[in-house]
Structures are given as C-alpha cells and as structure tokens.
C-alpha cells in the first residue's frame, strides 16, 4: 500500500467504493487521514462499513463542511455529461476534487533511494493495456522489479512501495488523467487516438485534452508518442524543442519518420529503431505469437521505446517479446479446433480497435455487436475484405446488419448462437474472431464477462 501524505488528521471524502475507491480509503487511513465514504449503491456502502470506514451521504447539507478534499472514482462524471451531485456539491463548497492517480503521484516516494524508482504511464485509445503489460513483462524478464497498476492490475494505491531501481507501470484511461491534480511520470506513452467516451468528454477535443494532461501537467523526462494520427503529431511537436530532441520518441506503423530524432517504426512485420538518421536495431515480429497483427506491432513499438529509454538492450527486449503470452480478451487465441482458430478480442469495444483486429487475421468468421457507439460500424467497410461472414449479437445487431452491406450477415442475438453458427460454417484455415466494435453493457457487466462467455461457448462446442 502507498500511504497518502498531506492529509494527516484531516477528513477526506471518497466517492465511489469499487476497487480504486476502497483502495484510496485504505491508503488515506494509512497516511493518517479520516476517510468519509459514499457510494450510490448499498452494496458499496456495506463494503466500506465492513472495513470500519465512516459512511455518509456527501450531498446532504453540511456534509462537506470539514472535508479537506473529495476523491472521485474514475467512472463517476465530474463535468460531462453532468457532474455527479456530490461533485457538484464539492465545487459549490470549494472543496478540492482529485482522484487516486493524483494521490499516488503526490505520495509515492522516489527521493529516498540510492537508485530512485521510476514510473512509466501509458495512455491512448487502443492498445494501452497490452503496451503496459508488455513493458511490465520485459522489465520482469530483465530482472528489474516492476509492478503493474492503474486501469490494469492493481489499484495504484494498493501496490507495494517501490524499492531501489524498481519501476511502476501504469495504464491510465482518460477518466483517470482528466481529473488527477498531480501527474508526474518519468516516462509517458501515448499510443494513438480514436473516438471513444465522447459523451464523457463532450467531443474529441475534450477527449484528447484529457489524454494530453499526462504530458502537460508534470512534464515527463521522456515522451513516447504515436504519430499516425494528427493529435499525436501535434502532441509530439508541442513537446519537442527541435528535430534532434530525443526526449520525444516518435512511433509509427504507417511510415518511416525522417530526420535526426529518435523513432521506432513497425512496418511489414518488422520493428526498427532509428536514431540520428540511421537504423540501429531491428526485430522480426512476425513470429511473436503473443503479438499478432499491426495493432500489436504498434504496442510492441511503444513497449520497446519505453524499455530502451530505461537502458535495456534490443536483444533483451526481443527475448522478452518472444515469450509474451498476450492478455485475455485482446487478440487471445483460446482454441484451435479442426484447423479453425478461435480468437477472443472482446476488448475491441470501438470501431478502431475492431478494424485493427480485422486486419490481423485472414478468412474471418466475425462475431460483432453489443451496445453500439455513435456512428455504428459503417466506417469498418474498408477492413472487411477478409470477412467471410458476420454473426451479430446484442442490442445493435440489426443496426449493424443494415450498415454491413458488403459481407453476408446473420443476426444471432446471443453469444451462444453466434459461436455455434460460426463454428458450424467455419472451414479449416479460418478464424472465428470475437471483435464486437461495441460496448458490452447490454448483455454483460463488462467486456471481460463477454470474453469469458465466448471462451466458455467455444469450450462447450461438440468435438470435431
């Protein structure tokens, strides 16, 4: 646990009592603060009470009179589409609002060591979980103490205090970066940007601004930036002091980046590192089973750049890449039956992530659908060349069927029917791919539960 500093003997309110909220309450108490907890659900309040925390409705009159700060869990809106009533009350009472990420950066000790620990923070629209996990894996394989936390792994305040030379790897969503009052990673990574969570951020500008805060608030020692979108090119330009400034490492899977700076390129299945206008290292990614497809090659470029920035050798990084098994629900090979591969990419909750998955495999039986996002799947038309047929599930199945005019479609409604139909029609050499291009909340609690259902339905198929 990372005890929170700066609130000794003071009352601090905690709103939202899921994983990060309860961890924040524990860490505040460990630092000498007095947590006052609230959750809109009775179950959340009961969990806090069971741990001995005071519970009180933060919207009642006078509830915030003696509160030093309000700590808000990531899923709770504080501005758009409308502030949570407790957050609005804090604004009205001039109570500072923060989150567990802000508490972590103000409390993690990095000065009292012979070799100070470092923090690598990864954000972006797609690939940040795999990138963060891959960085963590490479560090562990190299014998460097590493902990993985944030939007993946443990809550940031729930980790152990890092020791000499250790590294904390954080995956940070826009919900986490937009509110944190302290953001001071040593290395910050921006993978890419595509439309997502637009209602929460009032459009693409607000969404990008939330991501950009990771680089603007504290000024990392080194920034690693994907430049295949305009926002990434803008960010890299804003951070760089000139063409040879190697504090900014540019990433691309679309083109070679000219000039004397530091870049990592992933094209044609190969990763290449360029510095001062010449190539200094390369890795063949085509045979790395845990990193299939161009989107995972982009993740590999980001992880390579981050670990190279820490001083690891290309050979050590490549060796670690080759035994990386990937993450559940992200291009996860779950079975091969009768020459047909079954791949779980339930984390592909938007069209950009689904497009990347569709480009990673040939001859696809595609399971898609769920709670569709703004714009549906019409923009996926250029990426359907390998799709033999789409099997559509969930709330938006019929809307998706209308939009997918270039491939055969079948409305299956449920995962059970979709897996059974795809398996019955798949031929040897094909891939049954779950890449929903939609949120899961119409039928499942989260994308993990959706992916687990896919895996279970595949396991239950009759023998071939």
- Residue 228 phi/psi, 5-degree rounding, is -85, -5
Report whether 210 contacts 168 (CB < 8 A): no
| Closest C-alpha among 300, 69, 34, 334 to residue 182 | 69
Judge: domain 103-322, CATH 3.30.1330.10: no
What pTM, to 2 d.p., does this model score? 0.86
pLDDT digits (tens, 9 = 90+) for 191-218: 999 887 888 999 999 999 999 999 998 8
Tell me how far apart the alpha carbons of residues 99 and 421 are, in angstroms, rounded to a whole number: 45
pLDDT at 22: 95
pLDDT at 113: 84
pLDDT at 29: 98
124 a known binding residue?
yes
CATH topology of domain 11-98: Rossmann fold (3.40.50)
129 a known binding residue?
yes
Sign of the CA dihedral running 198, 200, 205, 209: negative
What 3-state DSSP class applies to 285?
coil
pLDDT at 464: 83
pLDDT at 112: 78
146 a known binding residue?
no
252 a known binding residue?
no
Sign of the CA dihedral running 390, 395, 398, 402: negative
pLDDT at 293: 86
Are both 11-98 and 332-459 of the same fold?
no
CATH topology of domain 332-459: 3.90.190
Please state the length of the chain. 464
Report whether 151 contacts 173 (CB < 8 A): yes
pLDDT at 197: 81
pLDDT at 326: 84
User: Terminus-to-terminus CA distance in the chain, angstroms?
Assistant: 49
277 a known binding residue?
no
What 3-state DSSP class applies to 220?
coil
pLDDT digits (tens, 9 = 90+) for 156-179: 999 999 999 999 999 999 999 999
pLDDT at 273: 97
Residues ≥6 apart with Cβ < 8 Å to 40: none
- For the chain, list residues with pLDDT below 50: none
Q: What angle do CA 413, 417, 419 make, to 5 degrees?
A: 115
């Amino acid at each position: 646990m990372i005890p929170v500093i700066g609130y000794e003997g003071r009352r601090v309110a905690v709103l939202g009592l899921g994983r990060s909220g309860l961890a924040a309450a524990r860490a505040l108490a460990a630092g000498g603060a007095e947590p006052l907890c609230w959750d809109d659900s009775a179950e959340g309040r009961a969990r806090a009470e069971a741990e001995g925390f005071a519970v009180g409705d933060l919207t009642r009159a006078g509830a915030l009179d003696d509160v030093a700060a309000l700590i808000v869990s990531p899923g709770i809106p504080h501005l758009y589409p409308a502030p949570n009533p407790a957050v609005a009350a804090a604004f009205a009472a001039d109570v500072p609002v923060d989150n567990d990420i802000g508490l972590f950066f103000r409390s993690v000790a990095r000065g009292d060591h012979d070799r100070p620990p470092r923090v690598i923070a990864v954000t972006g629209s797609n690939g940040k979980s795999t990138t963060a996990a891959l960085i963590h894996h490479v560090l562990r394989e190299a014998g460097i103490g590493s902990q993985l936390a944030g939007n993946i792994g443990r809550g940031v305040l729930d980790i152990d205090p890092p020791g000499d030379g250790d590294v904390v790897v954080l995956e940070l969503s826009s919900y986490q970066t937009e509110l944190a009052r302290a953001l001071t990673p040593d290395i910050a990574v921006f993978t890419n940007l595509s439309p997502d969570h637009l209602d929460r951020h009032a459009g693409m500008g607000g969404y990008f601004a939330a991501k950009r805060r990771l680089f603007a608030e504290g000024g990392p020692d080194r920034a690693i930036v994907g430049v295949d979108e305009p926002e990434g090119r803008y960010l890299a330009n804003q951070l760089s002091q000139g063409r040879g400034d190697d504090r900014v490492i540019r990433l691309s899977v679309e083109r070679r980046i000219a000039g004397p700076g530091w870049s990592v390129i992933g094209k044609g299945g190969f990763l290449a590192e360029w510095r001062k206008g010449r190539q200094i290292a390369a890795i063949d990614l085509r045979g790395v089973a845990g990193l299939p497809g161009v989107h995972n090659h982009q993740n590999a470029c980001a992880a390579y750049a981050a670990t190279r920035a820490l001083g690891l050798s290309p050979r050590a990084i490549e060796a670690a890449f080759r035994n990386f098994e990937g993450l559940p629900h992200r291009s996860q090979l779950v079975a091969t039956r009768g020459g047909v591969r079954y791949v779980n990419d339930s984390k592909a909750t938007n069209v950009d992530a689904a497009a990347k998955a569709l480009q990673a495999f040939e001859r696809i039986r595609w399971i898609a659908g769920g709670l569709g996002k703004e714009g549906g799947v019409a923009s996926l038309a250029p990426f359907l060349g390998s799709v033999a047929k789409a099997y559509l599930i969930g709330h938006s199945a019929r809307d998706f069927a209308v939009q997918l005019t270039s491939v055969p479609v079948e409305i299956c409604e449920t995962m059970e029917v979709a897996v059974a139909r795809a398996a019955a029609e798949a031929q040897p050499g094909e891939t049954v791919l779950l890449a929903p291009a939609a949120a899961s909340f119409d039928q499942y609690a989260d994308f993990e539960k959706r992916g687990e259902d896919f895996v279970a339905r595949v396991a239950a198929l009759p023998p071939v």
